[in-house]
Structure 1
Amino acid sequence: MLNTLRKIVQEVNSAKDLKTALGIIVRRVKEAMGSQVCSVYLLDPETNRFVLMATDGLNKRSIGKVSMASNEGLVGLVGTREEPLNLENAAAHPRYRYFAETGEERYASFLGAPIIHHRRVMGVLVVQQKERREFDEGEEAFLVTMSAQLAGVIAHAEATGSIRGLGRQGKGIQEARFVGVPAAPGVAVGKAVVVLPPADLDVVPDKPAEDLKAELELFGNALEAVRADIRALSAKLATQLRPEERALFDVYLMMLDDASLGCEVQRVIRTGQWAQGALRQVVNEHVKRFELMDDAYLRERASDVKDLGRRLLAYLQQARQQAMVYADNTILVSEELSPAMLGELPEGKLVGLVSVQGSGNSHVAILARAMGIPTVMGVVDLPYSKMDGIDLIVDGYHGEVYTNPSDMLRQQFADLVEEERQLTQGLDALRELPCETLDGHRLPLWVNTGLLADVARAQERGAEGVGLYRTEVPFMNNERFPSEKEQLAIYRDQLSAFYPLPVTMRTLDIGGDKSLSYFPIKESNPFLGWRGIRVTLDHPEIFLVQVRAMLKASEGLNNLRVLLPMISSIHELDEALHLIHRAWGEVRDEGTDVPMPPVGVMVEIPAAVYQTRELARLVDFLSVGSNDLTQYLLAVDRNNPRVADLYDYLHPAVLQALNKVVQDAHAEGKPVSICGEMAGDPSAAVLLMAMGFDSLSMNATNLPKVKWLLRQITLSKARELLDRLMAIDNPQVIHSTLQLALRNLGLGRVINPVASLQS
């Protein structure tokens, strides 16, 4: 069954559209299960009816015509109950409904499985047989597995717009929504430009050729280039290979010959297909043929064909990349975005980013926040390879992507983009003003930085210091550990840029989802593994070099603060403080006269929450890392889109933990700040101020919004609101109560603008 399932999935994934895919599924499932009927009913959300969309065994003329409401028939029952239904005699069931046009009166037994994608019922997959019998457990399990696969196929078809004419009015499904991880705030409306991974034939989509002559020429050039490469490779290895081994290169050249692969690809191009799609089609056909052969030697030739296909594709992609034209409102979409991809775009064309893989802490996400480009990462279900040229909306606040949006939705989001632009312009006037409440409470607003681009943005927005400088960023942009001298230069630039304002430098924080290519950490559960201070304490040579560089960089400026990440015990803190004092002694012995900088601890592990007072006695300040603290308190991987809706920093447990940290730190007379996404959320910032945080640190983009909101409220009103919310035990109710209270005070202007569309 597993082998059958794998083959069906492969065949379905290569189908050109949804109709073909459904046809393959009903035919193959019927064969695999030995049943007489297999049918797919899809739920039309406009009419809320299950429509027969494909069948093998029932009357084909009833496709698209037969439909039933969710409270009608056995199909409706499977859909509403959201579980399989296995009946020996379907007609005897009280919910059975007879449709004369299908001819199904001949079939007695019935097995139906719901098609569900992210909690949404999309349809029902059904098999039927003439004889009365109950399908066994293995058959039921197979159908459930098949329906789970089908859910992804239908979701992809929605995204690319290939479901049309599902409803009776022919409107079909106008848009689809995909959930990922919010990586950079903001909203973008534009056209998808897909960057495919280099030389991966499997993801090449079908696309009509605009200019057949140009496509044939492109392919001809790629053929010549690959032939030249193979001849060069053969000549290079001439002295190392025997003649019979070198003959393999001749086989490659023969395969590329005009009478073989080359000729077939050109023939497919002439039917109207672009060169890359034609190449994929021909290569896949040859590979299938070879893999089915009994002879082991011939089966191995499949890998040769794949290799040639990859080589040809690489040249075709290279040529197309050079000729690529970007629209004014480009939304770059890829399986895995890289900083290099951003650099290839002409300035001013890029409005949004979408990545199937990656997290909110990836290189690209950090860069996107610095550039102010709305970004969504980790959209695992997005059929990105088929999306080139389609309309997209990127909601960087909630980590959502809308494909094929309706005119109404597009207009709503376009209005938001314009509102955001005007709001940002209006907030520029606040740059020189302090963050001070209506009743005179001052709250310094700091920024999180990591790139040089962050410096200018922070200064433009009136930051009062750096609450978190991510020192791992220069490490990640290197091909080896940067030397003490290299680090000194980087840190000096950062300290000088903000002088005399304080700059809080976090010591190297790698592990989790932040890896160094030259220092790989392979773990099955990296977030609970070797990361942060655990790595640097195990490698004092890395830690000491970094702290020495920081201390030397602060000479004459004295605006450095050192922050230790991932502290979970007093023992770790003692060890780190010992090394910092050792580095300070060494630097002073070398003649650099710097005072001992303030040293702080990040509270981001639940263990640290319960040791706040003990930790505070040993350090000069504390800083809460709200992203990791929320993740660890709620046991939710914040980079996993499948549990994204469970990650919530307004969860009662998180609010209580934050309140405790502030009270305990202040009881020891130590200041406490907070960095992370929560500090940059204007409505959450009201609660953090009410709790008593001494400073907030956030990305520069959100700083003006937070400042505006806090200047419009009194501290006493914020405390009143906090007291109300601390008594609520449901995160959703906390969110809605907070939003409503701020709107009632006339402060809805900078609260998440997308919230109003979703309510």
Structure 2
Amino acid sequence: MLDILRRIVQEVNNAADIPSALDLMAKRVRDAMGTEVCSIYLLNEEEQRYVLMASEGLKREAVGHVSLGLSEGLVGQVGQREEPINLEDAFSHPKFHYLAETGEDPFHAFLGVPVMHHGQVLGIMVVQQRDVRRFDQSEEAFLVTISAQLSAVIAHAHASGALFAQMDASADLPSFYDGLSGSPGAAIGHGVLLFPAADLASVPDRPITDISAEIALLDDALMRVRQEVRDLAERAAKSLGTEEQALFDVYLRMLDRHALPAEVIAHIRDGQWVQGALRMVVDAHVRNFEMMDDPYLRERAADVKDLGRRLLAHLQSQNRRHIVFPEDCILLGEDISAPMLMEVPRERVRGIVTTRGSRNSHMAIVARAMGIPTVVGVQNLPLKQMDDKEIIVDGFRGRVVANASAELKHQFEEIIAEEASLQAGLEKLRDEPAETADGTRIQLQVNTGLMTDINRSLERGAEGVGLYRTEIPFMVRDRFPSEEEQRVIYREQLSAFAPHPVTMRTLDVGGDKSLTYFPIEEENPFLGWRGIRVTLDHPEIFMVQIRAMLKASEGLDNLRIMLPMVTSVFEAEEAQHLIHRAWLEVRDEGLEVAMPPVGVMIEVPASVYQARALAQRVDFLSVGTNDLTQYLLAVDRNNRQVADLYNSYHPAVLHALLHVVEQAHEEGKTVSVCGEMAGEPGSALLLMAMGYNVLSMNASNLLKVKAAVRQVKVSFIRKLLNEVLAMDNGEVIASYVDLQLEKAGLSDLLRHRKNI
């Protein structure tokens, strides 16, 4: 039975569309169970009825037309009870409702099970038989298992708006496609589908005799593609910083004669023509990367494919498709590489949507640096149908909308205009202090990682950097950056913000962050080798980074060093010992560098309960609320199955935050917050009421938080904090905070979290 189940699920997942998937499911289940009827009813929420969407055994003309109310018939009874109903004679049940249109007269035996997803009934699956008999336990278990598998297919179709629209070809209803936010913001524009000029998959094998001629063709193509990448890098230099431009250095290294080309030449020497050899090498690398669990490594597959296609295009001497980019361009594609993005006129790009990739892809990094709203990993988006269609990109929620109603489009137009207007209105606060109406100040800093963050941060009046993510310079290379390369990068950050402090987090890889040249493969990476654990196990990496930081701070003295993922006092002490050793080495080289303050991040429950002990040994604490919330609630916020359980207003999170700041202050140490809670006005005010000294956030949120701080009194936010600390439900707390801030006149600053 397990083999049958696997085959059914595989066939359904490969179906061309939802109606085909449902028809296939009904047929395969009927055959597998040896029954006479299998039907699938799905809930139409708008009509509040269960609609017969597929059936094997009932009249075909009834499909798509027959429906039952939520409490009507045995189907409605299954939905209301949210559990299977197994009857030997359906006709004798008081809830039986006869539907003449379906031709179900002769069927007595009835087994119905709910199709559920995240606690919601999406539909009902029913099997029927002429005999008066009860389906046995194994049959019931099989149908329950099948319905659980079907629920994912139905949920995807339901979310996209395709569930009932595909049954009616004339329907032109709004369609919603969920992915992941690659870069925040909203945009409206017309889709432009980017696809490669050359198709590697269509290249056949072909034997050759003149090996030298094929290698010469490869060398010529390599020369042209290298120049193409250099030209793109030059264009990128106008809008990207040094670190982001390093992405193009990675491309050039991959094109080095000793890298991918060497493998292509090896196949040519075996007698394969150059195009076939290129296909074989690219396919092998892509397969290897795509099979890897680590998201960073999977992203490298897109880079290899892009280079392969570029080389093939030159080998085939084909001109690329001439694409006309409209003024309001939404770029679409399975994968859009950073070089592909740079080929498009920046002033025309409103948004980006990909069906693959993650927020850590090279393209997403560049998109954030350029401030382009981006949604990635929109798996169920029908790309070919989106070309030249008007599309809404919701980078706040990670959602794409097609066929938007006039009302919905108008709502997003207002949001876009209000965001621009709000930002323009907030600009006047740039040089004003983050001070409450009754005179209490808090320091607002920024989280950075890209060089392009510097200007945006300074334009918004940042008072320093609360978190500089040093892993970014490591990510955009295909090797560890040297001490001097790191020193140059760090110096630029420290100089730009001097005399304000810059808190540099030491290399934080592992979990959902890895390096292509330093893979970490684990069953459970979030509970594995990450953060300080990695660098303490590799002091040679740690020492080079600390030395680079110290040298970069010469004459500026605004460096602060922060240790990630600390779970014990021992880790903090061991890291401090290495930092002190690096400082002595730098001093011995003749550099007059002060010993910088050293702090730890509070990201796991263990450090929450050791906050006081840690505060006794370091100079400051900084709470990473993203990971802390994830670990406290045991919720991976990137997992769509449980993402809705991730709630930073959860009572456990709020009480943990209060405990940390109280313990640190008892030791006379300052505490900051550098997670997303710091950049959301409601939670930022609660953190201020708790006594946090510094809030560090994305530069785009800084002025909103400053505006919120300046419009309230400390007495108001302390009263609000005491009220929510007495509550036991995170959703209630979030709603209550919004309500109170609206009453205080801050509704404009909250609008987007509520309405999008």
Percent identity, please: 56
Q: Which amino acid aligns with 1:662?
A: V
Please tell me whether the aligned partners of residues 183 and 377 of structure 1 are also in contact (alpha carbons under 8 angstroms).
yes
Distance 1:739 1:29, change over 3 A: same
Q: Which amino acid aligns with 1:614?
A: A
Please tell me whether the aligned partners of residues 211 and 271 of structure 2 are also in contact (alpha carbons under 8 angstroms).
no
Distance 1:617 1:32, change over 3 A: same
Task: Indicate yes or no: 2:754 matched with 1:722.
Answer: no
Question: Paired residue for 1:130?
Answer: 130
Q: Which amino acid aligns with 2:548?
A: A
Distance 1:576 1:711, change over 3 A: same
Please tell me whether the aligned partners of residues 551 and 586 of structure 2 are also in contact (alpha carbons under 8 angstroms).
yes
Inter-partner Cα distance in structure 2 for 1:466 and 1:391:
39
Question: Paired residue for 1:627?
Answer: 626
Q: In the TM superposition, what is the alpha-carbon distance from 1:723 to its structure 2 partner?
A: 1.3
Deviations 1:655-684 (A, max 9, x none): 111111111111111111110111010111
Question: Paired residue for 1:101?
Answer: 101
Q: Which amino acid aligns with 2:79?
A: G
Instruction: Tell me the secondary structure at the aligned position of residue 633 of structure 1.
Output: helix
Question: Paired residue for 1:52?
Answer: 52
Please tell me whether the aligned partners of residues 122 and 151 of structure 1 are also in contact (alpha carbons under 8 angstroms).
yes
Task: Indicate yes or no: 2:531 matched with 1:532.
Answer: yes
Q: Which amino acid aligns with 1:43?
A: L
Q: In the TM superposition, what is the alpha-carbon distance from 1:374 to its structure 2 partner?
A: 3.5
Instruction: Tell me the secondary structure at the aligned position of residue 132 of structure 2.
Output: coil
Q: In the TM superposition, what is the alpha-carbon distance from 1:45 to its structure 2 partner?
A: 2.0
Task: Indicate yes or no: 2:730 matched with 1:753.
Answer: no
Distance 1:612 1:158, change over 3 A: closer
Question: Paired residue for 1:73?
Answer: 73
Deviations 1:11-42 (A, max 9, x none): 44444443333333322322222221122222
Q: In the TM superposition, what is the alpha-carbon distance from 1:120 to its structure 2 partner?
A: 3.6
Please tell me whether the aligned partners of residues 180 and 644 of structure 1 are also in contact (alpha carbons under 8 angstroms).
no
Distance 1:420 1:755, change over 3 A: same
Question: Paired residue for 1:226?
Answer: 203
Please tell me whether the aligned partners of residues 226 and 312 of structure 1 are also in contact (alpha carbons under 8 angstroms).
no
Deviations 1:420-471 (A, max 9, x none): 1111111112112221211111212111111111111111111110111111
Question: Paired residue for 1:638?
Answer: 637
Give the alignment's TM-score, normalised by structure 2.
0.81
Please tell me whether the aligned partners of residues 430 and 703 of structure 2 are also in contact (alpha carbons under 8 angstroms).
yes
Inter-partner Cα distance in structure 2 for 1:141 and 1:614:
53
Task: Indicate yes or no: 2:37 matched with 1:37.
Answer: yes
Task: Indicate yes or no: 2:563 matched with 1:587.
Answer: no
Task: Indicate yes or no: 2:546 matched with 1:547.
Answer: yes
Q: In the TM superposition, what is the alpha-carbon distance from 1:312 to its structure 2 partner?
A: 14
Q: In the TM superposition, what is the alpha-carbon distance from 1:525 to its structure 2 partner?
A: 0.9
Q: Which amino acid aligns with 2:90?
A: A
Inter-partner Cα distance in structure 2 for 1:486 and 1:312:
30
Question: Paired residue for 1:268?
Answer: none
Inter-partner Cα distance in structure 2 for 1:388 and 1:371:
23
Please tell me whether the aligned partners of residues 209 and 271 of structure 2 are also in contact (alpha carbons under 8 angstroms).
no
Instruction: Tell me the secondary structure at the aligned position of residue 453 of structure 2.
Output: helix
Q: Which amino acid aligns with 1:230?
A: R
Pairing of 1:466-615 with structure 2 (within 5 A): 466-615=465-614
Please tell me whether the aligned partners of residues 163 and 173 of structure 1 are also in contact (alpha carbons under 8 angstroms).
no
Q: Which amino acid aligns with 2:206?
A: I
Pairing of 1:220-619 with structure 2 (within 5 A): 226=203, 230-232=206-208, 322-332=321-331, 339-340=338-339, 342-354=341-353, 367-376=366-375, 391-619=390-618
Please, what is the CA RMSD of the aligned residues? 3.6
Please tell me whether the aligned partners of residues 46 and 167 of structure 1 are also in contact (alpha carbons under 8 angstroms).
no
Q: Which amino acid aligns with 1:349?
A: R
Q: Which amino acid aligns with 1:577?
A: Q
Q: In the TM superposition, what is the alpha-carbon distance from 1:9 to its structure 2 partner?
A: 3.9
Please tell me whether the aligned partners of residues 160 and 177 of structure 2 are also in contact (alpha carbons under 8 angstroms).
no
Q: Which amino acid aligns with 1:112?
A: G
Q: Which amino acid aligns with 2:463?
A: E
Inter-partner Cα distance in structure 1 for 2:11 and 2:311:
22
Instruction: Tell me the secondary structure at the aligned position of residue 678 of structure 1.
Output: helix
Q: In the TM superposition, what is the alpha-carbon distance from 1:509 to its structure 2 partner?
A: 0.7
Question: Paired residue for 2:707?
Answer: 708
Inter-partner Cα distance in structure 1 for 2:640 and 2:353:
13
Distance 1:583 1:180, change over 3 A: same
Task: Indicate yes or no: 2:139 matched with 1:139.
Answer: yes
Inter-partner Cα distance in structure 1 for 2:624 and 2:333:
30
Inter-partner Cα distance in structure 1 for 2:639 and 2:486:
33
Inter-partner Cα distance in structure 1 for 2:328 and 2:742:
32
Ranges in structure 1 where 5+ consecutive residues have no aligned partner: 199-217, 239-245, 254-309
Q: Which amino acid aligns with 1:550?
A: M
Please tell me whether the aligned partners of residues 162 and 175 of structure 2 are also in contact (alpha carbons under 8 angstroms).
no
Instruction: Tell me the secondary structure at the aligned position of residue 206 of structure 2.
Output: helix
Q: How many residues align?
A: 671
Instruction: Tell me the secondary structure at the aligned position of residue 174 of structure 1.
Output: coil
Range moving further from structure 2, 549-558 or 46-55 = 46-55
Question: Paired residue for 1:121?
Answer: 121
Range moving further from structure 2, 407-416 or 732-741 = 407-416
Question: Paired residue for 2:89?
Answer: 89
Inter-partner Cα distance in structure 2 for 1:661 and 1:469:
22
Inter-partner Cα distance in structure 2 for 1:680 and 1:362:
23
Distance 1:629 1:753, change over 3 A: same
Deviations 1:275-314 (A, max 9, x none): xxxxxxxxxxxxxxxxxxxxxxxxxxxxxxxxxxx99998
Ranges in structure 2 where 5+ consecutive residues have no aligned partner: 215-268, 277-307
Question: Paired residue for 2:686?
Answer: 687
Q: In the TM superposition, what is the alpha-carbon distance from 1:687 to its structure 2 partner?
A: 0.8
Q: Which amino acid aligns with 1:142?
A: F
Question: Paired residue for 1:666?
Answer: 665
Q: Which amino acid aligns with 1:592?
A: L
Inter-partner Cα distance in structure 1 for 2:663 and 2:570:
20
Instruction: Tell me the secondary structure at the aligned position of residue 23 of structure 2.
Output: helix
Instruction: Tell me the secondary structure at the aligned position of residue 594 of structure 2.
Output: coil
Please tell me whether the aligned partners of residues 181 and 379 of structure 1 are also in contact (alpha carbons under 8 angstroms).
yes
Please tell me whether the aligned partners of residues 42 and 52 of structure 1 are also in contact (alpha carbons under 8 angstroms).
yes
Inter-partner Cα distance in structure 2 for 1:332 and 1:503:
36
Inter-partner Cα distance in structure 2 for 1:18 and 1:569:
51
Inter-partner Cα distance in structure 1 for 2:600 and 2:474:
21
Please tell me whether the aligned partners of residues 17 and 162 of structure 1 are also in contact (alpha carbons under 8 angstroms).
no
Instruction: Tell me the secondary structure at the aligned position of residue 695 of structure 2.
Output: strand
Please tell me whether the aligned partners of residues 602 and 624 of structure 1 are also in contact (alpha carbons under 8 angstroms).
yes
Deviations 1:544-593 (A, max 9, x none): 11111111111111111111111111111111111111000000111111
Please tell me whether the aligned partners of residues 180 and 641 of structure 1 are also in contact (alpha carbons under 8 angstroms).
no
Q: In the TM superposition, what is the alpha-carbon distance from 1:148 to its structure 2 partner?
A: 3.5
Q: In the TM superposition, what is the alpha-carbon distance from 1:367 to its structure 2 partner?
A: 4.5
Q: In the TM superposition, what is the alpha-carbon distance from 1:635 to its structure 2 partner?
A: 1.2
Inter-partner Cα distance in structure 2 for 1:654 and 1:183:
26
Question: Paired residue for 2:654?
Answer: 655
Inter-partner Cα distance in structure 1 for 2:534 and 2:25:
50
Give the alignment's TM-score, normalised by structure 1.
0.80
